[in-house]
Amino acid sequence: MEGIDIAHIRSQFPILNRTVWNKPLVYLDSAATSFTPQCVVDEITRVYTTCKANVHRGVHSLSQEATDLQEATRECVREFINASSTQEIIFTRGTTEAINLVSSSYGRLLENGDEIIVTTMEHHANIVPWQLLGSRKRIILRVVPIKKDGTLDLEAYQSLFNERTKLVAVCHVSNVLGTVNPIKDIIKEAHQYNVPVLVDGAQAISHIKVDVQDLDADFYAFSAHKMYGPTGVGVLYGKKHLLKMMPPYQGGGEMIGTVDFKKTTYAELPFKFEAGTPDFVGIAAFKKAIEFMQSIGIENIAAYEHELLAYATAEMEKIPNMRIFGTAPQKSGVVSFLIGNEHHYDLGMLLDKLGVEVRTGHHCAQPLMHALSIEGTVRASFAAYNTREEIDVFIAALKRVSAMLG
């Protein structure tokens, strides 16, 4: 494939050389977390061994260096998603915390009887924070159903708006079905009612070129660990005017202007939402992960993964009793399946014995499982370091497992 030097990419991931049960590793669980290239690991070591000093905490040289690294990542993220200002880039622990930030903070502005639109295909991280809000106030969740192929029912979506609708919270890409939602249209529709939209971008950001201004997204959340980066780091993008009117999420150091027992003022954006010491080492290394993706080109990654998905799907469809969940025309590199009535757990365990690492279970999307009338699926997901040869091993393993289970 043009634009992708797969051998060069793989050489940057030493973990790919390990074995599982004495079999070469075939890692097809990058939707849960992606592997991390050596440049990211090296940067973590470099920061720990040369300038691990707390950020925004003083005039000494080490603190200044660490601060510069963190803020360089903020600028890198801004450019990566084309936000208009670094004030709109808030570092969090991940997608989950980014969504909890919005639910806790923006949620304080909501009133009894207000409504939030979510969809059937949301990860629990984009459901439970809104339900928690509902335990403090009477907030009603309206749920967009899905069609047979795993696309959203957009007519139903349009019918859910009314004068009490205060937010739409929707994933860009489903972590189970792989469906790429028409997020720009979804946002346009909501904006006709002056309703802001939070996009859960956890499964999109490393697979699709994201331009928050072009999408006109009000909030966009994602995790570094799913984009070849370190664990414990994530981003909430928010439009400045919304972030400005939102109260702080957590209180502590960094997020204040002045503190007095009578009156405390808060810091300017983005620091107003960054209480306490962040994972500044991880944040520094996150820049290397973004640069890694940029060195390949996100469009090249997307095209390559799409080839892998198409190849895997075509081969899987040849296996008797294969049931694939999610057949949307626009899909990202995720394929969920079952074989006949075999339990997803048995399938996953046996695949593991053959060196193939896939995710099994409800994938933190139980309402979607209920809608599909199943308990769980097996999910294979792809990243830039996977190969057609690995898909061949996966398919051969699937055939063997299928035969073993009869």
User: CB of residue 66 vs ligand 7TS: minimum separation in angstroms?
Assistant: 24
Three-state DSSP string of 300-355: HHHHHHHHHHHHHHHHHHCCCCEEEECCCCCECCEEEEEECCCCHHHHHHHHHHCC
Shortest CB 113 distance to ligand 7TS, Å: 27
When the beta carbons of 67 and 223 are compared against ligand 7TS, the nearer one is 223
Binding test (CB under 6 A) with ligand 7TS, winner from 16, 40, 77, 171: 171
223 binds ligand 7TS (CB under 6 A): yes
Q: Closer to ligand 7TS at the Cβ: 94 or 270?
A: 94
> Rule CB under 6 A: is residue 202 a binding residue for ligand 7TS?
yes
Among 16, 28, 116, 125, binds ligand 7TS (CB under 6 A): 125
- Range 308-347 burial, b when 16+ CB lie within 10 A, else e: bbeebbebbeeeeebebbbebeebbbbbbbbbeebebeeb
Q: Work out how close the CB of 143 gets to ligand 7TS at its nearest, in angstroms, rounded to a whole number.
A: 16
Q: Which is nearer to ligand 7TS, 66 or 283 (CB)?
A: 283
Q: Which one, 236 or 243, has the nearer CB to ligand 7TS?
A: 236
Q: Give me the 79-118 binding string for ligand 7TS, x by CB under 6 A, dash otherwise.
A: ---------------xxx----------------------
Q: Which of 51, 76, 171, 364 is catalytic?
A: 364
Which tokens hold the place of 344? Answer: 């997803």
* Residue 367: closest CA among 181, 120, 117: 120
Q: Which helix (H) or strand (E) holds 166?
A: strand 165-171
Q: Pattern of binders to ligand 7TS over 13-32, x per CB under 6 A?
A: ------------------xx
To ligand 7TS, the closest distance from the beta carbon of 125 in angstroms equals 4
Q: Quick check: helix, strand or coil at residue 171?
A: strand
Half-sphere exposure of 64 (CA within 13 A, CB side): 3
Question: In the block, which residue shows the tokens 């109260």?
Answer: 247
Q: Does 200 bind ligand 7TS (CB under 6 A)?
A: yes
| Residue 123 in contact with ligand 7TS, rule: CB under 6 A | yes
**Is there a catalytic annotation at residue 51?**
no
Q: How far apart are CA 313 and CA 307, in angstroms?
A: 10
Q: Is 203 in the site for ligand 7TS (CB under 6 A)?
A: yes
Tell me how far, at minimum, the Cβ of 220 lies from ligand 7TS, in Å: 12
Q: Is 146 in the site for ligand 7TS (CB under 6 A)?
A: no
CB 344 within 8 A of CB 375: yes
In angstroms, what CA-CA distances link 172 with 229, 236, 330?
A: 20, 14, 11
**Coil/strand/helix, residue 52:** coil
Please give the residues from 362 up to 381 whose contact with ligand 7TS meets the rule CB under 6 A. Answer: 363-364
Q: Based on the number of CB atoms within 10 Å of its own CB, is 153 exposed (0-12), middle (13-18) or buried (19 or more)?
A: middle
Q: Is 198 helix (H, G, I), strand (E, B) or coil?
A: strand
CB of 359 to ligand 7TS, least distance (A): 6
* Helix ranges restricted to H, 19-87: 38-50, 61-81
Helix, coil or strand: residue 78: helix
Nearer to ligand 7TS, 207 or 272 (CB): 207
Determine if 73 is a binding residue for ligand 7TS (CB under 6 A): no
- If binding means CB under 6 A, how many residues of this protein chain bind ligand 7TS? 17
**C-alpha closest to that of 160 among 124, 200, 128, 193:** 193
**Region from 38-46, 143-151, 188-196, 199-207 binding ligand 7TS, contact rule CB under 6 A:** 199-207
The minimum distance between CB 373 and ligand 7TS, in angstroms, equals: 20
Catalytically annotated residues: 364
Residues that bind ligand 7TS (CB under 6 A): 31-32, 94-96, 123, 125-126, 171, 175, 200, 202-203, 223, 359, 363-364
